[in-house]
Amino acid sequence: MTAHALELRNLRKSFGKTEIIRGVELAIEKGRIHAVIGPNGAGKSTLYNLITGLHPVTSGRILLKGADITDKPPYEIARRGLSRSFQVTNIFPRMSVLENVRCAMLWDLGYRYSFWHFVGRRRDLAERSEAIMEQTGLGSRRNVPAGLLSYSDQRALEIAITLASGADVILLDEPTAGMSRSETEQAVALIRKISQDRTLVIVEHDMGVVFDLAETISVLVYGQIVASGPPAEIRANTAVREAYLGPEAA
Amino acid sequence: MAGLARRSGIWLAAVAVVLVLPWIFSSGFAITTLNQMGVLIIFSLAYNMLLGQGGMLSFGHAVYFGLAGYSVAHVLNGIGAGTLPYVPVSLLPLVGGLVGLLFGIPIGFVSTRRAGTVFAMISLGFAEMMTALTLILIVFFNGEEGVQTDRWAGPEPFGITYGPDIQVYYLIAAWCLLATLAMYALTHTPFGRMSNAVRDNPERLQFVGYSTHRVRWLAFALSSFFAGMAGALHALNVEHVGFETVGVGQSGLVLFMVWIGGARAFIGPIFGAVVIAFLNSNLSGITEAWLLYLGILFMVTVMFAQGGLSGLILMHESIWKTDVRLFRPMVRPYALGIGATIVACLGAIGLIELIYFMSTRSTRDTGTSLYSVPVDAASLLPWLVCAGVAALGAEACRRAYRPMAASYADAIETVKAGAAR
């Protein structure tokens, strides 16, 4: 049996006495687009923070491509090929778009903490950053300080940084939050494009986007996965309807 | 290729300036000032690796400057006494750098685990500790007297004795150019870029595979190396290293220089070091209140010009790059604004000097001179004139600043509109 891209085993997290994640079991297959949905406060962001090492877990295990990454520091996890975007734009505001993208690929291309290479003279850096900026439509903005970009360009940069690290497992946190209809369409097209040789996990509130993109959907309610399956199955599931629309509707 | 030629052009120009300067300013006093500038340029560029590029506010960077200074003084004395093997005096700045590195590595490891306030407090703690040690570890620091040394030690390769100050000038100039070039090059390496990234957003940095602690630690260690180099040159320059070189005072001075010059641009600290060294050697002879003026200058830049002096110039960069003619409508409002500021300063400085004179005079004589004009500080007239000039200047500033800002905003609007097209 080949290992899953990402596997959560009986994952739990408490903040003080409140248990936010209550025994999550989740297996994400390689090369899939897997959406995690759930009402506000279900624990979706906490789940991401546990997977990426931002918070220590209370109990349970997290496996990335079969290897245990539970409670490793975020940079260790990133080096093993897991990358995430943030719901609230999290970029390097005083650096240019090109610098932002380039910073994200330095480790993966083996530059580590080098102080004897010039970033402007390396062909591998130039090629990959060109490709990433092209893919995310940021080419014409390359020299603009990231803090001055428009909101939708900053969202695109958020994804560009996430991609640039060369990770094959990518966690997107509400990639279309706050976008207009047409911007959302562009973002969906971009996500579909980048999903081709990668595993994608998406947390998203826009159900149109979720049912459009996802091959598998898991529903998180009060820190537990109540249902997992292909979109059609989830759409028909009573537990899901209950969680979203209240018991009367079900 | 054109970019490369232009950049090396700047460096060649710098070399030319450095070679020509002592011919223009050839007095002993001028050479001393220039030497001080060179030392402080290296020190403030090193400090800016932390503050401007890595986002770390240190109150104790003189520790590496001073320890290297003491060490080099001891090495020189050892060479002179024949107890230490000969090291060419020209290479002692490297020894100083290594001493800085030696202390920067372990202290950096401890203090860069956290950034922000914690980092600042730890750096302050180390500076205080060193000051205390100067009075305890007498063997090394020799208490309040400090360590005296003689740079004229050992053989004299090519007749270089470092006896005359001019030879020290070329030594400092050469190391200053080398160090500046090296620190500039560092900003273009993966380490340099990640250093900027840790300043901008330490959280995100971890998610692209980097340890914030490692990046900060490396920046700290390299910065200590260059601070040590500056300390070594300081020891060679003045042939004495005192307890004040490792303490909070010297650490504060470098923070002042970098902030006043501007921490955001690479050239900022150079600017700051030149201005402060110039004021230090010239103003301190003219007025006893010079530290007060330095403090006021610092406060004004903190409040109104966060990019420092270099920031004030660089904020016009996009204008001259677009079209120099855009400056034409700005000339008049700028001249008025700057003129008004000068008038206000002249008045205020006059008042400060009068107050200073009256409160610190040791004789009953109340005659002094203000701007080379003999005045009687006990009479009302000089006070009234100064107060009047200050008030006039302040009112002129109030009226002149708004049109000045408006003319800048207009020019920037034009630049932006041009860029959008």
Read off the pLDDT of each residue in A64-83 and give the average, rounded to a whole number.
96
Over residues B346-356, the pLDDT tens digits come to 999 999 999 98
Best residue in A79, A103, A129 to probe B by mutation, most B CBs within 10 Å? A103
| pLDDT band, residue B1 (cuts 50/70/90) | very low
Q: pLDDT over 70 for what percent of chain B?
A: 98
- Answer whether A5's CB lies under 8 Å from A187's CB: no
Nearest to B233 by CA among B16, B23, B59, B42: B42
Domain locations along chain B: 8-305, 317-420
Chains A and B form CB pairs within 8 A to the count of 94
Question: What are the chain A neighbours of B196 within 8 Å (beta carbons)?
Answer: 92, 94-95, 99
Distance CA B283, CA B17 (A): 24
Chain B nearest CA to A60, separation (Å) = 22
Q: pLDDT over 90 for what percent of chain B?
A: 75
Read off the pLDDT of each residue in B175-195 and give the average, rounded to a whole number.
97
- How large is the ipTM? 0.92
The per-residue pLDDT for B202 is 95
The per-residue pLDDT for B329 is 92
Burial of B159 (0-12, 13-18, 19+ CB in 10 A): exposed
The reply to whether A126 touches chain B by the CB within 8 Å rule is: no
The per-residue pLDDT for B366 is 78
The reply to whether B218 touches chain A by the CB within 8 Å rule is: yes
Chain A nearest CA to B195, separation (Å) = 10
The per-residue pLDDT for A250 is 46
- Answer whether B189's CB lies under 8 Å from A116's CB: yes
Q: Which residues 6+ apart lie within 8 Å of B121 measured at CB? A: none
Q: Is the pLDDT reported for residue B260 higher than 60? A: yes
Q: Which CATH architecture has domain B8-305?
A: Orthogonal Bundle (1.10)
| pLDDT band, residue B375 (cuts 50/70/90) | confident
Q: How far apart are the first and last CA of chain B?
A: 28
The per-residue pLDDT for A247 is 60
The per-residue pLDDT for B177 is 97
Amino acid at B14: A
Read off the pLDDT of each residue in A83-89 and give the average, rounded to a whole number.
93
> How is chain A split among helix, strand and coil, in percent rounded to 5?
40, 25, 35
The per-residue pLDDT for B421 is 56
- Find the CB nearest B197 among A84, A86, A95: A95
The reply to whether B204 touches chain A by the CB within 8 Å rule is: yes
The reply to whether B23 touches chain A by the CB within 8 Å rule is: no
| pLDDT band, residue A81 (cuts 50/70/90) | very high
Read off the pLDDT of each residue in A188-195 and give the average, rounded to a whole number.
92
Q: Write down the mean pLDDT value for chain A.
A: 92
Q: Write down the mean pLDDT value for chain B.
A: 92
Chain B nearest CA to A78, separation (Å) = 5
| pLDDT band, residue B368 (cuts 50/70/90) | confident
Read off the pLDDT of each residue in B208-224 and give the average, rounded to a whole number.
97
Read off the pLDDT of each residue in B125-149 and give the average, rounded to a whole number.
93
A170: nearest CA partner in chain B: B207
Q: Is the pLDDT reported for residue B27 higher than 70? A: yes
The reply to whether B321 touches chain A by the CB within 8 Å rule is: no
Nearest to A220 by CA among A204, A206, A208, A236: A204
Q: Is the pLDDT reported for residue B274 higher than 80? A: yes
Asked if B206 and A74 come within 8 Å (Cβ–Cβ), the reply is: yes
Backbone φ, ψ for residue A172 (5° rounding): -105, 130
The per-residue pLDDT for A246 is 64
Backbone φ, ψ for residue A64 (5° rounding): -110, 115
Q: Is the pLDDT reported for residue B215 higher than 90? A: yes
The reply to whether B189 touches chain A by the CB within 8 Å rule is: yes
| pLDDT band, residue B159 (cuts 50/70/90) | confident
Over residues B285-334, the pLDDT tens digits come to 888 888 899 999 999 999 999 999 999 999 998 888 888 899 999 999 99
> Minimum mean pLDDT among A196-205, B164-173, B363-372: which range?
B363-372
Interior CA angle at B205 toward B203 and B210, to 5°? 125
Asked if B194 and A113 come within 8 Å (Cβ–Cβ), the reply is: yes
Nearest to A161 by CA among A188, A191, A136: A136
- Answer whether B249's CB lies under 8 Å from B242's CB: no
| pLDDT band, residue B164 (cuts 50/70/90) | confident
Distance CA B313, CA B298 (A): 17
The per-residue pLDDT for B372 is 83
Paired sense of beta strands A216-221 and A33-37, if any: parallel
Domain locations along chain A: 1-81+167-250, 85-159
| pLDDT band, residue A146 (cuts 50/70/90) | very high
The reply to whether B306 touches chain A by the CB within 8 Å rule is: no
Over residues A14-70, the pLDDT tens digits come to 999 999 999 999 999 999 999 999 988 889 999 999 999 999 999 999 999 999 999
Q: Is the pLDDT reported for residue A224 higher than 70? A: yes
| pLDDT band, residue B128 (cuts 50/70/90) | very high
> If you write DSSP's letter for every residue of B364-420 in order, what string do you get?
S--EEEETTEEEETTSHHHHHHHHHHHHHHHHHHHHHHHHHHHHHHHHHHHHHHHHH
The reply to whether A148 touches chain B by the CB within 8 Å rule is: no
| pLDDT band, residue B42 (cuts 50/70/90) | very high
Distance CA B110, CA B117 (A): 14
Q: Is the pLDDT reported for residue B2 higher than 70? A: no
The CATH number of the structural domain formed by A1-81+167-250 is 3.40.50.300
Read off the pLDDT of each residue in B122-145 and give the average, rounded to a whole number.
93
Q: Is the pLDDT reported for residue B335 higher than 70? A: yes
